[in-house]
Chains A and B, each alone.
Chain A
Amino acid sequence: MNPPAPEPIRELALEGITKRFPGVLACDRISVTVRRGEVHALVGENGAGKSTLMNVVAGLYQPDQGRILVDGEPVRFRTPAEARARGIGMVHQDFMLVPGLTVAENVALGLRAAGPRLRLDLDRARRSVAEVAGRHQLPVDADAPVWQLSVGEQQRVELVKTLCLGARLLVLDEPTSALTPQETDDLLARLERMAAELPIIFISHKLNEVKALSHRVTILRRGAVVFSGDTGRKSTAELAALMTGHEVRQARNDGGGASGRVVLEVTDLKVRADRGHLAVDGLSLELRAGEILGLAGVSGNGQRELADALAGLRPVEAGAIRIAERDLAGALPRRFIEGGMGYIPEDRHHEGIVPGFSVTENLVLKDVGRTAFSRGPFLRLGAIEENAARLRDRFDIRCASTAVAAGSLSGGNIQKVILARELARAPRALVAVYPTRGVDMGAAEFIHGQLLSLRASGAGILLVSEELEELMALSDRIAVVYRGRILGVLEGPAASRERLGRLMAGVEG
């Protein structure tokens, strides 16, 4: 059942794991070995197969081929419960916590009773939480409802919960994606301490963290292992090259170009979040023609609400949004679109495209009423097809034909469709929200290039991103948003990781 300190796994071996999804080979004969006392990093671009592989280990997916050995013994995990019973403790990137329940209730959900029980025993869960929290120095309040906790606190709860349920090996999927630099350092330190006790696998695409924390690293590319060995033997640049398969050229902003003319001016904006509180609380910024203004900040500080307000998708409590002298705060999305605003949304699959429509149809989603594409009430199918063919070439959209459903394309290509549609409209200002999240490096390079050439043509770009490297490489200036307000704006050269990190954590100056 759940003894106080379960015997850690000595060795986890994966042999020849293969996993397919419709149209995609996610894992291609992958073999990896992880031993106790080591932190093993699993690295690769998005789509390389890291998460899929770990989901196989956690029992969520069934491998089509290959086997898993725990301490030399072959095992089959048909359900996540079986994996857990064997001691695989998976901490997912999206927390597997039921928001409406308390911490103790979440833990109780996973604790298996000795026999059929009628009464819910929360005390047992509370005791378990207290014990684990004490042993690993992970303070949590067992009776707090999960939805009230911050992201960092929720992550701690996930760790505690996983250990309470008898984890003998930890798998952490992109654990630092939602943390500030300081919280990241804190977590990495904790993990180093815990590594002495049990093997830890952590999945990441942030190479500096990989170098800092891991002893061994396995690099996946297109579902296959391209390197597995000691982390110390490869430099960050070498790791990056292995990840992408070629020399990584980060598109860089070479400065100059900002004309000084303001294309978008936000003054003292206040916007409410779905929950009711003010997510944007007196935010002001200016976007100039020919510049890329980066917006840095930990996810959840109002970026989403700001971007929505800038597209007319959210009502505005107070403040102004001026585009070319007209205040459009609170206007309908169509007015923003006509005013020259472009928008690359966060959720490309559900907000950027209509997945069931063809690529052709998606490329005219915003412009179907214009005379170029319609005659009176009727669609001009010929013009729409031509448009699709042209954009497909110009933006290198990889698809069998533009008649396929847009939802069946890979993430990078979907993003290209959205980019094509937005850029073809020659916007005055473009808001791009996490444009390269979950996109492979090749497509990311392309997108960066497109953003830079849009900048060169005189448009202003508000680039919202979590990747400090991306922001520092592309932006003329970087603004940091914290609790719904701009805490500081740093000019390109002055924007260092340390200064940005401090601002992101709410420390001014």
Chain B
Amino acid sequence: MRRFRALYVAGVAAAAGLAAAALASVVLLVIGASPWATFATMFGGPLRDLYGASEIAVRAVPLTLVALGVAISFRSGILNIGAEGQMQVGILASTAVALALPRLPGTVLLPLSLAAGAAAGAAWGGIAGWLRARLDVNEILSTVMLNYIAAQLYGFLLRGPMIDPDELMTGSGTPQSMRLPRGAWLDRLVPGTRLHTGLLLALALAFLVWLFLWRTTLGYRLRAAGEEPRAARYAGIRVERSLVVAMLLAGGFAGLAGSVEVAGVHHRAIEAISAGYGFGGIVVALFGALHPAGIVPAAAFFGLLLFGANMTQRSAGVPGNMVLVLEGVMILAIVSAGMYVSNPYAQERALRAVRRILRPRGDAPGAAPGPATGEGGP
């Protein structure tokens, strides 16, 4: 039975993957690109050298951080789609703090600015959490709306109060902030690449999130509230409070992700900085089965995809928006497959279908197998 389950899950996953690839291929064909060549470049291109591998890791860092937050929120029963906006708000806060206190030593300035970014993201997420807990506002709608609002705020501040004075002087007017003081930078991990120590932070946090969700009482309560809010309420767990806590954490992780990107890669707040990491993080979380052990490799895979998409844009002329298509089909495939994997009826039906094929003489006699449940009953 165990063996069949493993086969079944693998089969469902393969079918889902193929379906996703097929759907994406349709789009590729419409724009005249070869699906085979595109996928080959996308998956093979980045892995050709060390630089490629480092670029994958660079992208995996914010993806991991966002996905960890998303995983916490989804497991607590609240769907955070607002990572894009939370990242942007986090970037604004951490940049502002770093620029305001340039003379602080690095050992203080860096953690301070990162913390500010996390706090701002948490607050932004907390708004949606509070709206859901107190006023029962659908969090998908509110976080999406907050994304749009944050985007406007981001643009406003980067074009106005927070713009680099140099830009104004030279007249180019690129919406970006001043360079961060050296003390607020994350150090290079591998010279010659863009990979920075944020990677270590992300990995450490992945471990901590696992510890938090499965080894602490608060994590236990969050998971209970997410799985079955009614039973959690009956057991004295404050479900409304859990929702807010979950959104604070999720927003905090997203804010941190943005701040880490700035501190490690760009060293200043720029326009398209969070592009795609917000939604990409959601895909990574789903792909990683909402568990840190799955999220880390999923983030690496998705980093590969993002960098690969970059390469196909340059070499094969496939527009960058193709990434959105991939994200979309991946989400659809994952949630479809997920239902099949977790639905015991579907698995039973598949098992019986397989049995019928393998034993054409007739049905296997006797009761169906399955976990011992004592007397059968409703």
Contacts and interface: CB of A to CB of B under 8 A. Distances in A.
B377 A47 contact: yes
Given A354-B231, A365-B235, A22 B378 contact: no
Interface in B117-132: none
Interface stretch (B83-91, B95-103, B221-229, B281-289): B221-229
A400 B1 CA distance: 14
Contacts of A336: 236
Given A21-B345, A411-B378, A354 B371 contact: no
B373 A24 contact: yes
Contacts of B231: 350-354, 365
Most buried by A among B215, B344, B367, B376: B376
Contacts of B218: 377
A46 B378 contact: yes
A337 B236 contact: yes
A400 B372 contact: yes
A75 interface: no
Contacts of A262: none
Nearest to A354: B228
A353 B230 CA distance: 9
A404 interface: yes
Contacts of A439: 377
Most buried by B among A311, A333, A440: A333
A374 interface: yes
A356 B228 contact: yes
A20 B216 CA distance: 40
A333 B233 contact: yes
By size class, the interface of chain B is: 35 or more
B266 interface: no
Interface in B213-254: 215-218, 220-221, 223-224, 227-228, 230-236, 238
Given A366-B236, A379-B217, A22 B370 contact: yes
Contact of A24 (B224, B238, B376): B376
Contact of B376 (A64, A333, A347, A410): A410
B376 A222 contact: yes
A398 B375 contact: yes
A173 interface: no
Contact of B373 (A353, A368, A409, A443): A409
A47 B376 contact: yes
Interface in B184-228: 215-218, 220-221, 223-224, 227-228
Contacts of B221: 368
A450 B369 CA distance: 32
A355 B227 contact: yes
Contact of B377 (A354, A379, A411): A411
A130 interface: no
B220 A379 contact: yes
A501 B373 CA distance: 38
A22 B351 CA distance: 10
A347 B378 CA distance: 12
A484 interface: no
Contacts of A352: 231, 234
A395 interface: no
A314 to B, nearest CB: 11
A434 interface: no
Q: Which A-B residue pairs are the 8 nearest by beta carbons?
A: A23-B370, A47-B377, A398-B374, A24-B376, A410-B377, A22-B344, A334-B236, A365-B235
Interface of B: 215-218, 220-221, 223-224, 227-228, 230-236, 238, 344-345, 347-348, 363, 367-378
22 contacts: A20-B367, A21-B348, A23-B368, A23-B369, A23-B376, A46-B377, A222-B376, A313-B234, A332-B236, A350-B230, A353-B231, A356-B227, A357-B227, A365-B231, A366-B236, A377-B217, A377-B218, A378-B217, A398-B375, A399-B373, A412-B377, A439-B377
Given A22-B344, A23-B376, A343-B234, 18 more contacts: A23-B369, A65-B363, A313-B233, A333-B235, A334-B236, A353-B228, A354-B224, A354-B227, A354-B231, A357-B224, A368-B217, A377-B218, A379-B215, A379-B216, A399-B374, A404-B371, A411-B377, A438-B377
